[in-house]
Chain A
Amino acid sequence: MKKKWLYLLTLTFAASLVSCELDNIDAPSARLEGNVVYEGENLNVRSNSAQLELWQDGYALNEFIPVFIAQDGSYSASLFNGEYKLVRKGGDPWLPQLNDTIIVQVNGNTLLDVPVTPYFTIKNEAYSISGNTISATFDVNQIVDSSVLQEVVIVLGESVLVDENIQDAIARYSADTINIDSSTSLSIEIPENMRDLEYLFIRTALKSNSSNEYIYTNSYRLEL
């Protein structure tokens, strides 16, 4: 009887030693992070829209790693150390550069700002409230000559994630109301159901005819 227990214990112990060996691949420990920038400034996008692609050569089968860009223009990816290729793909509010791959050596925590060429930029935004109207002042600059400005929108939301798709109020302005390469002032009325809030979030965005994604200003918390 005693002997049987001893066998059983030994066996269990041995099994535990073996099973640990099987899981011999470490979780990815390196990290690649940075921002999508133009002339050193972050570009802001819709959350869950813009993507970068990461590729790693040297394996039989290729499969890219999609890297989503957060709405403030930052991105990050957990990776293994090694050499990766980073691709700026189409469909975003900047020029695709499919053949102009950025080669990045990931080693531990690696910082890399990805330069892109937006069709337009929108910046230096300032907001002011008077009564139930918010007026937004901002600068629009054209970067890519062939592109044509289509629309500017101002969006309001109750949470920090706000864009043309996720919003509680939106005001649309066509291109002819916008001064390109100088300052423009537009306004949005706060809808009735948001007037009693303590604060709301506001973003201004523009769309060109070259992409159906807008390029945004950062989400700004406005105390009411």
Chain B
Amino acid sequence: MKYTLLLLILCASFATVSCNNEDWLERDPKNIITDEQLWNDPQLITSLLANYYDRLPTFHGVFNTGGMTEIDDAMWSGHFDQNWRNDFQYGYDYGRYWDYTFIRDINLALDNIETFSTEIGDEQKNLFTSELRFIRAFVYFELVKRMGGVPLVTEQLIYDFGGDPEYLQIPRSKEHEVYDFIYSELETIKSDLQANNGSQTRANEFTALALESRAMLYAASIAKYNNLMDTPINLPGGEVGIPAEMAKDYYEKSLQASQSILQDGGYALYDENPDKQANFYEMMMNKGNAEVIFAKDYVNSLKTHGFTFENIPRSLTEDNEYPSNLTPSLNLVESFDYLDGGEGSLNITDASGDPIVYEDINGIFANKDARLYGTVIYPGTTFKSAPVKMQAGVAVWNDSDYELLASQDLGSNYSDEGLWTGADGPQDNTQFVSNTGFYARKFLSDAPGASLRGVASENWWPWFRLGEIYLNAAEAAFELNQEGVATTYINTLRERAGFPENSITDLNIEDIRKERRVELAFEDHRYFDLKRWRIAHEVWDGDINNEDAAVFALFPYRIVRPGHPDNNKYIFNKFTPTRFRRARFFRLGNYYASIDQGVLNNNPKLVRNPFH
């Protein structure tokens, strides 16, 4: 009885405690963020945006060493296992890109911000929305560059389980419709992006204009040059190919966007260092400088990249293996003009075919465009204020001509006590030492520990910089018959590279193309430039003797000829490296990558690209 009473009291006391507090059951979960929370908290939205910015697509940019050796003026000198990069043919799927997962994520985010964001101000809401739309336009630009016209999906596709998915099968848009979409999106959002002006890592008004400048230039040149081909690359539905009469309008749009950046952007060509050579290198490396419009940033404590580890000259590496992968070609080095205006071919042999003797190992590169130093490490230069020890071997005079002798041991001395083969090579048919006679300098960080895997590099990747805008403006102005304007832009850019004022007086399209090649080397432009000018199949014609399609090397040798005035001077030998096996070969079917068969099976309304 006593117990029954106690039990009753106990039960009654439970009831008073448990009923009283309904909030206790209504707690927010600690491991789930709801849509309402996310879309009303600017900090959470920003961190979601960080993920989306990180996913911005690139082909072989953003420090992709291997990719650069496939499509830029360079070859792979790294591990033999990857020598296929020097011995392959662009397949029809080369460059394929079909990231509708990302497009869906963006569309979903846009819908959610519309539905759930009630507590943040309109201005902030518009900014986030515009950034998402900028990222979406960027993705569509990558899609149209590689695949031609693609399905334009701007909202979530949701299946209604009705048994007929046909309404979800969106056909490909015309190629020009995708470019028009990019243009109209950017025009709409650019004023809302003004809140970000001043930021170099989030999209602002001028980032939108920079993308517009580039995209419109691509559309214009496809419209013009595709139709100048003997057999233009078209599809009957316009999914590939842009009508020629649209070229003028696109060039005008591109020029207008470029000029607004040049006039109102507050950006300036980086020109801080009176040493023009170092200046060009610093321009890519110094963060926060006024030339860069939009960049992908890295920081040691959070997020790093291995470009310096992969590509630092062999003797300078702080790590113990795998340096010297990306090695630029002689052809790239020769495409840099001489500062006196002379065409850039190096003087290797004289008219009778005898090698020209140079007092200094870097004498052959004297008076070249300052950007050469900023892009390529060539013999006789320094990196991190340490000399790069490049010498392929010795040239021993045997009474009739020079015999070129190379040592297997890097850094060894010849029998005359002088250097035989330098610690940085170059060496033919070896790994982890340059096979071309050159190393990459652009993007190579000189920070302490940058070539260590454990520390790695934190220099950033500029997506857009003012140098490109000058080139875009020059090209568009030239195509619109404004030669005077175009010449001014090109010459301004060349002055920064050490050329005198008005170094080009009679501008032609070849000058502009060459300027793009040297200014923007390794910045993920060359492949797409050749494509949009429709000359890729002529430049990369698969002929191993064609210096544009094949990679050539230039090796320096020290003369051993005791008693002769040429003793201890230098001569150079040009040849095709043993490891470079197959010249670049770009077929007409490579202008647009093939669409995956799985994608075609899922959506019968898609048409294949030409030649596939």
Contacts and interface: CB of A to CB of B under 8 A. Distances in A.
B543 A91 contact: no
Contacts of B537: 212
B231 A91 contact: no
Given A148-B230, A209-B230, A91 B587 contact: yes
Interface in A65-96: 89-91, 96
B542 A164 contact: yes
Q: For this complex, into which size category does the number of interface residues on chain B fall?
A: 20 to 34
A212 B230 CA distance: 11
Interface in B531-553: 537, 541-545
A64 B582 CA distance: 28
Contacts of A210: 230-231
A61 interface: yes
A63 B599 CA distance: 11
Given A91-B589, A165-B583, A170-B545, A64 B597 contact: yes
Contacts of A96: 611
Nearest to A98: B608
Contacts of B597: 61-64
Given A64-B597, A89-B611, A91-B587, A209 B231 contact: yes
A89 B542 CA distance: 21
A90 B542 contact: no
Contact of B611 (A91, A150, A167): A91
B535 to A, nearest CB: 12
Contacts of A209: 230-231
Contacts of A89: 611-612
B588 interface: yes
B587 A212 contact: yes
B89 interface: yes
Contacts of A63: 597, 601
A48 interface: yes
B588 A91 contact: yes
A211 interface: yes
B610 interface: yes
A90 B89 contact: no
B600 interface: yes
B128 interface: no
Contacts of B600: 62
Interface string A183-204: 0000000000000000000000
Interface in B155-185: none
Interface string B358-377: 00000000000000000000
Interface string B601-612: 100000000111
A170 B543 contact: yes
Given A209-B231, A210-B230, A165 B587 contact: no
A164 B588 contact: no
Contacts of B541: 212
Contact of A211 (B582, B585, B588, B598): B588
A61 B601 contact: yes
A90 B583 contact: no
Max chain B CB contacts within 10 Å: which of A61, A64, A211, A212?
A212
Interface in B198-244: 230-231
Given A48-B89, A90-B610, A213 B585 contact: no
A40 B160 CA distance: 56
Interface in B558-602: 582-583, 585, 587-589, 597-598, 600-601
Contacts of B583: 165
Nearest to B538: A212
Q: For this complex, into which size category does the number of interface residues on chain A fall?
A: 20 to 34
B611 to A, nearest CB: 4
A106 B136 CA distance: 48
Contact of B542 (A148, A150, A165): A165
A48 B582 CA distance: 13
Contact of A212 (B544, B588, B610): B588
B58 to A, nearest CB: 27
Contacts of A165: 542-544, 582-583, 585
Contacts of A48: 89
Given A164-B543, A210-B230, A210-B231, A62 B601 contact: yes
Contacts of B582: 165
Interface string A123-167: 000000000000000000000000010100000000000001101
A154 to B, nearest CB: 13
A210 B89 CA distance: 21
Interface in A27-84: 48, 61-64
B295 to A, nearest CB: 38
Nearest to A91: B611
A82 B230 CA distance: 41
A64 B600 CA distance: 12
Nearest to A63: B597
A213 B231 contact: no
Interface in B44-91: 89
Contacts of A61: 597-598, 601
Contacts of A62: 597, 600-601
Given A148-B230, A209-B230, A209-B231, A90 B543 contact: no
B587 A213 contact: yes
B497 to A, nearest CB: 35
A167 B544 CA distance: 8
Contacts of A213: 587
A213 B587 CA distance: 8
A1 B49 CA distance: 70
A58 to B, nearest CB: 14
A219 to B, nearest CB: 18
A189 B498 CA distance: 45
B275 to A, nearest CB: 44
Interface string B423-461: 000000000000000000000000000000000000000
Contacts of A164: 542-543
A185 to B, nearest CB: 23
A46 to B, nearest CB: 9
Max chain B CB contacts within 10 Å: which of A61, A62, A165, A170?
A165
Max chain A CB contacts within 10 Å: which of B230, B541, B545, B587?
B230
A25 B545 CA distance: 49
A96 B544 CA distance: 28
Contacts of A150: 230
Given A64-B597, A165-B583, A90 B230 contact: no
A81 to B, nearest CB: 23
B333 to A, nearest CB: 25
A148 B229 CA distance: 12
Contacts of A167: 544
B136 to A, nearest CB: 30
11 contacts: A61-B597, A61-B601, A63-B601, A91-B611, A165-B542, A165-B543, A209-B231, A211-B231, A212-B537, A212-B541, A212-B588
Given A170-B545, A210-B230, 15 more contacts: A61-B598, A62-B597, A62-B600, A64-B597, A90-B611, A91-B587, A91-B611, A96-B611, A148-B230, A150-B230, A165-B544, A167-B544, A210-B231, A211-B231, A213-B587
When A and B form their complex, which 5 residue pairs have the shortest distance between CB atoms, in order from nearest? A209-B230, A91-B611, A165-B542, A90-B611, A91-B589
Interface of A: 48, 61-64, 89-91, 96, 148, 150, 164-165, 167, 170, 209-213
